[in-house]
């Protein structure tokens, strides 16, 4: 297979008035002759004929992928790096500290939990991969998930360690946990008396939920 990758200029617009549209392109033709013109909404035959007569390249009602900002890319790279660091640190430190506590019929799963799948664990669960939106996990014991959670989680153990997206639905001992407390970092969620404490694993800050 042979392929080429192009960088193109795109001009996106909609048509409210045909005469104004044609007048605009007549005036600015030289600016757009090397652009791909994306037109949203109804495209009349009159406009098609005009654009073709000018040899302008256009598409209609096609949603193009949007380029991500540098900040968004940096955030994604940072998240990927954090996930790698989490794997390493969890393996070397956290799991060693928790090894004596994860003894209640411990089950280890190292695969993505995909949408539509349900996992019910009577005991402790160590999950070494992500939980996709639409997936459901229930653990009667302690729970550690080292990758991003976008699905539904129910945990009735003494603690869970988790990093969740805004899509996630997290219930700990019957209490719904706001995902804003669990975003962009790995968190330890514990039941202390009648309060649920959220303590980021890699930062010295604590959130009191209830």
Residues 34, 53 within the same domain: yes
User: What percentage of the chain reaches a pLDDT higher than 90?
Assistant: 19
Cα(163)–Cα(153) distance, integer angstroms: 11
Residues 22, 100 within the same domain: no
Q: For the range 115-119, what are the long-range contacts, defined as Cβ-Cβ under 8 Å and sequence gap of 24 or more?
A: 115/151
**pLDDT above 90: residue 203:** no
Number of Cβ atoms within 10 Å of the Cβ of 83: 16
Cα(158)–Cα(54) distance, integer angstroms: 70
**pLDDT above 60: residue 156:** yes
Residues 46, 118 within the same domain: no
DSSP designation for 169 = E
Q: What is the pLDDT of residue 104?
A: 54
In a domain, 66, yes or no: no
Q: What is the pLDDT of residue 90?
A: 58
Residues 80, 130 within the same domain: yes
Q: Which residues of 33-70 are buried (b: 16+ CB within 10 A; e: fewer)?
A: eeebbbbeeebeeebeebbeeeebebeeeeeeeeeeee
Residues 114, 86 within the same domain: yes
- The predicted model scores a pTM of 0.52
Residues 41, 140 within the same domain: no
Residues 51, 76 within the same domain: no
Q: What is the pLDDT of residue 191?
A: 85
Residues 15, 39 within the same domain: yes
**pLDDT above 70: residue 204:** no
Residues 195, 125 within the same domain: yes
Residues 53, 155 within the same domain: no
DSSP designation for 113 = B
* Tens digit of each residue's pLDDT (9 = 90 or more) over 60-109: 888 777 666 666 666 666 666 666 666 555 555 555 555 555 555 788 88
Instruction: Work out the average pLDDT over 198-210.
Output: 56
Residues 144, 196 within the same domain: yes
Where in the sequence is the domain holding 47, given as residue range(s)?
9-60
How many domains, the chain?
2
């Amino acid at each position: 297979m042979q392929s080429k990758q192009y960088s193109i200029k795109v001009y996106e617009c909609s048509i409210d008035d045909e005469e104004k549209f044609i007048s605009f392109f007549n005036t600015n033709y030289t600016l757009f002759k090397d652009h791909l013109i994306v037109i949203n909404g109804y495209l009349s035959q009159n406009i098609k004929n005009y654009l073709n007569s000018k040899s302008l390249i256009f598409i209609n009602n096609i949603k193009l992928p949007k380029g991500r900002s540098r900040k968004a890319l940096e955030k994604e790279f940072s998240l990927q790096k954090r996930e790698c660091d989490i794997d390493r640190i969890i393996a070397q430190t956290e799991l060693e500290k928790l090894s004596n506590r994860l003894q209640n019929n411990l089950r280890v799963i190292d695969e993505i939990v995909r949408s539509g799948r349900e996992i019910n664990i009577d005991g402790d669960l160590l999950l070494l991969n992500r939980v996709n939106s639409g997936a459901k996990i229930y653990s009667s014991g302690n729970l550690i998930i080292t990758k991003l959670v976008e699905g539904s989680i129910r945990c009735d153990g003494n603690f869970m360690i988790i990093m969740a997206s805004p899509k996630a639905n997290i219930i700990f001992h019957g209490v719904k946990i706001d995902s804003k407390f669990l975003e962009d970092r790995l968190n330890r969620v514990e039941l202390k008396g009648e309060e649920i404490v959220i303590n980021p694993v890699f930062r010295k800050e604590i959130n009191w939920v209830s």
